Amino acid sequence: MNFIFDIGNVLIEFNPFTFLGNLFSEQSVIDKMYETIFQSPEWESFDQGAMTHAEACGIFCTREPNSQAEIRQVMQSLKDMLVPIDETVALLPEIKKAGHGLYYLSDNHKELSRYLLEVYPFFALFDGGVFSCDVQMTKPSVEIYRYLLGKYQLDPKECLFFDDREENVVAAHKVGIHGVLFTGAACVKPFLNSAI
């Protein structure tokens, strides 16, 4: 069996409000930064590999000239938001030990995805994976699932996909992958003894 994991809020925490709350004390600033950055059309462009953080930062600062210092602080600190979810990460060696394949499929920015691969050694356990920024496709488009299957010659009937977003799980089903809505590490454990 091949285990395919989303990354955000499955393997790595992605909580903008908590992150912004650690940077700023005023709720009005937190709300402003969330809207300006995380709700911007540029954020999706990151995932599609169409824009760098530096380019977007310039756009944000032009759009909100009175918040330039805060915008730069957020953009320079984005990596601090990416903290491993220990309970899920702890399952990765067990999955490999049981003889299963291990892959990731993530909507992610080029800068942040490279940071993850460089900083967190558990990614060495993976047999491969796809970041949206590298293929200019994002979930829940079925094409990115097909790309992953084709790249690694995986049989969808022998794949499990874990994602915290319902629409991404539904898309996995459309290409024949067994999708599981991720609600915590406990939802992965029953599959560890799945037939290979």
What per-residue confidence (pLDDT) applies to 195? 61
CB-neighbour burial class of residue 68 (10 A; exposed 0-12, middle 13-18, buried 19+): middle
Tokens 């067994």 appear where? 178
Kindly report whether the global pTM for this prediction surpasses the value 0.85. yes
Residue type, 196: I
| Model pLDDT, residue 46 | 86
Tell me how far CA of residue 54 lies from CA of 46, 97, 132, 168, in angstroms: 11, 41, 19, 29
Which of 184, 182, 161, 181 shows the shortest CA–CA distance to 172? Answer: 161
**pLDDT at site 101:** 97
Chain segment 132-158, per-residue pLDDT in tens: 999 999 999 999 999 999 999 999 999
- Residue 129 has a pLDDT of 98
The kind and range of the H/E element at 61 are helix 53-63
Give the mean pLDDT per block of 10 residues along the chain (196 residues): 97 95 96 96 89 93 96 95 96 96 96 95 98 96 98 97 98 98 95 73
